[in-house]
Amino acid sequence: MLPARPLVLLAALAALPAAAVDRLDDRDFATQTPACEDLYRFANGGWLQATPIEGERVNRFTALRKAAEAQRLELLQAALDRPADPLDQAIADLARSALDETPLQASRKAALAALLPALDTLQGREQVGELIRAYQARGLPVLAQLGPGSTPKRVHVDVQVLGLPDPRFYTSDDPAVRDWLGRYRAYVQALLAAAGSPDPDGESAWVLDLEARVAQAVQPGTPIRSQPRRAFERAHPGLDLAGLLEDQGLRKRTEVELEGADQLAALDGLARALHPVQWRAWLRFRVVHLLAPWLDAPFREPWERFYRTGLAGQSRPTEPRLRALELVEHWLPEALAQRYLDRHFDARRQQAAEALVEALRGTLGEALADQPLWQETTRRRARAKLEALEVDFGLLPARPRIEVRLDPANLVGNLLAIGRWRAREASAENLARAGLVLQPQLGYLRERNRLLASASVWQPPLFDPEAEPALRFGGLGALLAHELVHGFDLGGASFDAEGRAEAWWEEADRAAWTTASAPLIQQYAGYPGSGDRPLDGGRVQAEALADLSGLEIAWRAFRRAQPDPELPLRWGLSPAQRFFVAWASLWREQASEEAQRSDLLHAAAPPAHYRAIGPLPHLPAFAQAFRCRPEQAMLRAPARVRMWSGEEPATP
């Protein structure tokens, strides 16, 4: 059995103030629709009528992303106005260097005047490695991103020199793909012209030829290779890698983690084969290409047109503040992440998050111990896997120190200084984890047996530490339970407690699980699809089952935290009813016709409406809460699916 600690945390959850903040709004309801006929409309009809479609879709999760972006902008503004921490000062200095176009232009001109004339010294093939080494030493990763590896003895070398995201862009005969290659050449030509190339058209041809040769050598799925540093240096004699590592203070590290080994091998061969004229063209482009997203309009706008609006299909950040935020998130993400944690994930919020997760974890542990479809061997393995589960809030391992002097009037100088510092001294783990803080992320990682619920998830509209138990468990709690259950469904059955690919269910357990969950396929196939095509119940079954299981686990945990499911009433709803309204409210969405069609035809999960109502026929607690009659719509299903045994917990 699991230790008793989760039950203590359940009591802590129940003791939090219940009435300080409620995140349901009765203006969102449409009570003229009976909950037993359509809980989704009952909970969300008012909101659906009042909320227009913006872009592809509007829902709780787009609202969460907007809230997180607003918080990051607020942190940026606070750093600019009143820096209260050394990290604020670094953020402010970097942001200021990009806010005004006039000093930005001056910084770019001075930097290119210092960086590009070196190309004229490249006269022989033996000088290719020397010039690449010189640029890398200045902080420009024209060949590779360098940084600390996974251990103090290792250096990480990441070689990604192709300007297009897939090698097939260079080799495909498909007309649409060839069109993108033509657009890419136009981008290359625009940057070369802005950089003062004597022959932008000719040099753009040289650039594409070199990249096409590298692309032809790329082997899909090439793994990261670990090798002794000396062997790494000897294997690439044309690129002076020993000198390159020496310049960065990295030769004391005895091993290399190499990412992009096929690209590096191809470049090493080309260093001894191609004419210096071609190398000068490519290096001129690489220098300005690496800086282009952050420079003034003659360089930034071609990059925006090709990459952001073209390949990515995103809108451009028109406000200087948004560009400055993007700059800080890219170049100093660990600084902004730490200040986010300081401001928005304090000890009290973290304790509330831990209490909710542990309450669900304890309840799931009890359900695993009584799982009716498994043999005792599988139950025992499941409990061991749950014990080993890691809960990750995306925190940084150590408070970062930005040990580089930044000039608020010299953007390019700042970027080069950060590049040099990051290669030598910056914490690779802080850098890798900063994105978990800055972007809301929630999911179960099977290969690591880890529940990831990043710090920016723990805020409205998904969570408030002072909301009542019905809202905490019926909303984010059910979503967390959904993810936890993925460790113990048919997908999780292929990964053990350490995240290794190993089957740990007995075959009879798989057969019983498959049989018990089969009615969901027919149920979801009965919902309207796209045109005359019904929803594919088989495609969405796994996620539908996780919704059902997660909601059942969340309900059990809620009943432990809520002394009385009938009182107090709010908006005429009992706590039990508010639990299910919170669940339905979680999935409210306005989506474009194209987005709805895509969800119906391709998504692994059911569309929002069906996610809200699909589990309800299988949960007696819902019918009891709303006094539903068997013939009403929310209780209709081909057969009741019961994956977990056990009676409703007794009132504490």
Please check the confidence at residue 425 and state whether its pLDDT lies above 80: no
Residue 151 confidence class, pLDDT cut points 50, 70, 90: confident
- Could you report the per-residue pLDDT of 318-366, keeping only the tens digit for each? 788 999 999 999 999 999 999 999 999 999 999 999 999 999 999 999 9
φ/ψ region of 144 (left if φ > 0, alpha if ψ in -120 to 50, else beta) reads: beta
Residue 534 confidence class, pLDDT cut points 50, 70, 90: confident
φ/ψ region of 414 (left if φ > 0, alpha if ψ in -120 to 50, else beta) reads: alpha
pTM: 0.88
- Measured between alpha carbons, how far is 436 from 438 in angstroms, rounded to an integer? 6
Name every residue whose Cβ is closer than 8 Å to that of residue 458 and which is 6 or more positions away in sequence.
345, 349, 350, 352, 353, 393, 476
Question: For residues 511-549, b (16+ Cβ closer than 10 Å) or e, as one string?
Answer: ebbeebbbbbbebbbebebbeeeebbbebbbbbbbbbbb
For residue 15, what pLDDT is reported?
A: 38
Give the mean pLDDT of the chain: 91
For residue 16, what pLDDT is reported?
A: 36
- Could you report the per-residue pLDDT of 258-304, keeping only the tens digit for each? 999 999 999 999 999 999 999 999 999 999 999 999 999 999 999 99
